[in-house]
Amino acid sequence: MYAPSHLRGRFRLLKCAPLSLAILTTCTLNTSLVQAEAASIAAQAYDIPAGPLGSSLNRFAQQAGVAIVFQSHELEGVKGPGLKGDYGVQDGFDRLLRGSGYRAVKGDRGYALQPAPVAGNDTLELSPTEVSANQLGNVTEGTGSYTPGTIATSTRLVLTPKQTPQSVSVVTRQHMDDFGLNNVDDVMRHTPGITVSAFDSERSNYYARGFSINNFQYDGIPSTARNVAYSAGNTLSDMAIYDRVEVLKGATGLLTGAGSLGATINLVRKKPTADFQGHATLGAGSWDNYRSELDVSGPMTESGNVRGRAVAAYQDKHSFMDHYSRQSPTYYGIMEFDLSPDTLLTVGGDYQDTLPRGSSWSGSFPLINSKGDRNSVKRSFNNAADWSSWEQYTRTVFAMLEHDLGNGWVSKLQLDHKINGYHALMGSIQGNYPNPDGTAQLTSGKYTGETVSDSADLYVSGPFSLGGREHELVLGGSISASEWKGKGYWNLSPNIVDFNNWHGHAAIPDWGKAQLLIDDTVRQTGAYVTTRLNLADDLKLLMGGRVVNYQVTGYNPNYRESGRFVPYIGAVYDLNDTYAVYASYTDIFMPQENYNRDRDNKLLEPDEGQNWELGVKAEFLDGRVNASAAYFEIHESNRALSDDEYNNQTPTPSNYAYKSSKAVTKGYELEMSGEIAPGWQLQAGYTHKVVRDDKDVKISTFEPEDQVKLYTTYKLKGHLDKLTVGGGVRWQSVGWQDIYNDPHKQYEEFSQDAYWLVDVMTRYQVSKNLSATLNVNNLFDKHYYTNIGFYNSAAYGEPRNFMVTTRWDF
């Protein structure tokens, strides 16, 4: 609700608060009434975009100079159409509230929100959209939607997808629940434009637009951990604690500073709710896959000024792969405190473990035997010893302080402390095996390590007036540091096993003393600014930039980047209420990993790139459906490629060398998400891209040039209204990679042919509170690889499998 500036509380920030009824002080009564009377007569111009209805009413009341009183929970989940043109106060309220089931009634102290009479019907018909918003964007939980309301991943400005001049894909809470997406790997496989490559059973890498994704954010705070290859928990995070996953395509230097050119993955945590709610799930599936989850949320005081949420999940999952299993306990807690009507404090933490047995290492089987022939093994073959285990863990505590400064301005401080660790005892069959006699040698290694990261981000955001128009501004700064300490052990003693009768039985080596020590510290500071200029009713210009200071110190070569400026510019032009065209440019840089050295053992210069994008966005059915079409180009310098002329010399050099190359990615993508008809949810995308080096040769070819992802559900009507059915398809074109066949002394192409995967689901609502869901993945049991060529290995994707999940809501 809105009240004059000296009385206004944090009502726009905390619409989830149970009691946000404003009390206007009697000392301003007469003044307010005079202002209201005058404003109700004279019409004035307004330009209020469509969005959450509570926010639209606040903004209108503020500009009109009147007060409106309502309880925030009344409008939770209700979206307004916006307002553009000349209106009197009553006419403006009527237009904003049209179709909402409410009306604004003028009283002694201003305006009050009341239910509107509905002819022939005692119930209210509310607009079907999102729930409460905050500075991270709209919460998707409880909306039933496959599309978000607003997001803030791109610029810190809270914008709708149509208003954002970059491609953003969002996998909502409903999408995750429908298809049983329980970790980041699962979500990425459903995200348009993302390729998931499995190094082995515990380690995955994600690719977008031809680049590895190493940028992770949590509630918009970038993680500075760089040890992606050591897989310290990021890719296996349990989805039980998250509301949604946002993937911002292309360079994201404005908010992340240093990072990759492909995309940024932002995991947005669940928030406490104003009312008590909870659910418990039990699931069972193929290969002894069992999962349980408990989620409880609600007010913790009678007034509701303290709210909390607790989540616990446990998964015990065996596999189609021989002697492999994984246990994953997850715990999460979060609390919100209304310190004052203007200030919200949020604190929380999570605790996650991944405890596998029989972890494969470098694929799940070697591609080439000692004769140079291709190995042919069953999908169940696991190259790992039964004691092989890549354990990972994550410990996080975080805090957020939000304060309403008045006149639409908000400040926010975010703090994050995270520990990512791994303890890996690894043993697997790697290399050109089996020998002619069927024997193979086990490769063994032990890796232990931990990364401790601390991050802080502070910004203020709000409107300002210039040239007779209202614009938006964000000013902020951040600081982060992460220290990675690790050790590596190798045992090269012969450990001979029988390849043809391999069941994982082998002796655990004596590891001895550590042969590798890691102690790297990454520090990054930055200041950033973003503004959204309202140049005309239909034209918005977004401008900003970040000044980055980046430093790596430790046992590896030190690196420093000071005062680097990362620009951002974008423009959005509304063709009409449905369509908008946009264009954007930004760039980014990323220091090379320690192993990316040239033949003189010198670290390569930082990977750098510029990202151009232009396209069309659309918003259908009052925002219930979002769609986009984009063309993009990424121009990269200092891409690390293998220096084959040096590496393939005889005798083989003692160091494996890389060389810098330029590369250009060109492509386009189409995406649509949301409720395309009552009860019919859809998320679909098509992506095409080609990456070429400075010699015009295609690279990153193990990623498909083309891919399609489509997932949909439909809630039946009439007598079958308790039944929801759905399904999805994933298709990708051929992917290939040249691998070096050492016995044949030549390169050979290894490819994954184009393939389709089909998933289906159905859910039956047994009662108001109890439901049962069946998910069947890879319905037609397609054989395919999830990794081609990593250390001359391959890994099979999962065969057909199912999961039955029961859910009780309370």
Identify any residues that bridge with 627 across adjacent strands, giving them in sequence order: 618, 672
| DSSP at 2 | B
The pLDDT, as a whole number, for residue 32 is 41
Do 516 and 462 form a contact (C-beta atoms < 8 A)?
Answer: no
Q: Are strands 68-69 and 110-115 parallel, antiparallel or unpaired?
A: parallel
- Please say if the pLDDT value at position 455 is more than 60: yes
> What's the per-residue H, E or C state across 156-193?
CCCECHHHCCCCEEEECHHHHHHHCCCEHHHHHHHCCC
Produce one character per residue of 440-462: b if its CB has 16 or more CB atoms within 10 Å, e if not. bbbbbbbbbbbbbbebbbebebb
Phi, psi (degrees; rounded to nearest 5) at 736: -150, 165
User: Tokens at residue 717, please?
Assistant: 């009507």
What is the mean predicted confidence (pLDDT) over 271-289? 96
Question: Tokens standing for 334?
Answer: 């979060």
Torsion of CA 317, 321, 322, 327, to 10 degrees: -20
In this structure, the strands spanning 110-115 and 211-212 are unpaired
What tokens appear for 153 in the block? 């991943």
- Range from 170-179, 482-491, 723-732 carrying the lowest mean pLDDT: 482-491
Rounded Cα distance between 356 and 325, Å, is 6
Mean pLDDT, rounded, of the chain = 87
Sign of CA dihedral 654, 655, 656, 659: negative
Taking the C-alpha atoms of residue 9 and residue 23, their distance in angstroms, rounded to an integer, is 10
pLDDT of 131 over the 50 cut: no
pLDDT in tens, 234-253: 788 999 999 999 999 998 88
pLDDT score for 39: 40
pLDDT given at position 77: 61
pLDDT in tens, 785-807: 998 888 899 999 999 999 999 99
Give the integer Cα–Cα distance in Å for 29 and 92. 22
State yes or no: cis peptide before 434, omega within 30 of 0: yes
Cα–Cα distance between 242 and 173 in angstroms, integer? 8
> Angle, to 10 degrees, between the axis of helix 89-97 and the axis of helix 29-41?
80
Three-state SS letters, 566-600: EEEEEEEEECCCCEEEEEEEEEEEECCCCCCECCC
pLDDT in tens, 133-189: 467 778 899 889 999 988 988 888 989 999 999 999 999 999 999 999 999 999 999
The angle formed by the CA atoms of residues 673, 679 and 684, to the nearest 5 degrees, is 20
Q: Residue 467 corresponds to which tokens in the numbers above?
A: 């040239």
- For residues 600 and 802, give the distance between their C-alpha atoms in angstroms, rounded to a whole number: 52
Cross-strand partners of 761: 726, 775
Residue 677 β-bridge partners: 680
Counting Cα atoms < 13 Å in the Cβ hemisphere of 2 gives 24
Contact predicate 137/461, CB 8 Å? no
Residue range 193-201: mean pLDDT, rounded: 93
Mean pLDDT of 124-129: 32
Q: DSSP state, 117?
A: P
Nearest-angstrom CA–CA distance, 206 and 787 = 11
3-state secondary structure of 55: helix
Average pLDDT over residues 506-530: 93
In 10 A of CB 466, how many CB atoms? 11
Structure tokens at 187: 């979500």
Give residue 68's pLDDT: 79
What residue spans of 107-161 are helical by DSSP H? Answer: none
Q: What does DSSP assign to residue 73?
A: G
- The pLDDT value recorded for residue 339 is 95
pTM: 0.84
What does the pLDDT look like over 64-121, one tens digit per residue? 767 776 655 567 667 778 888 788 888 888 888 877 778 888 765 567 777 765 444 4
- H/E run at residue 534: strand 516-536
Q: Which residues contact 332 (CB under 8 A, 6 or more apart)?
A: 240, 241, 269, 270, 309, 310, 311, 312, 348, 349, 350, 351
| Per-residue pLDDT tens digits for 382-432 | 999 999 999 999 999 999 999 999 888 999 999 999 999 999 999 999 999
What is the average per-residue pLDDT within 685-705?
94
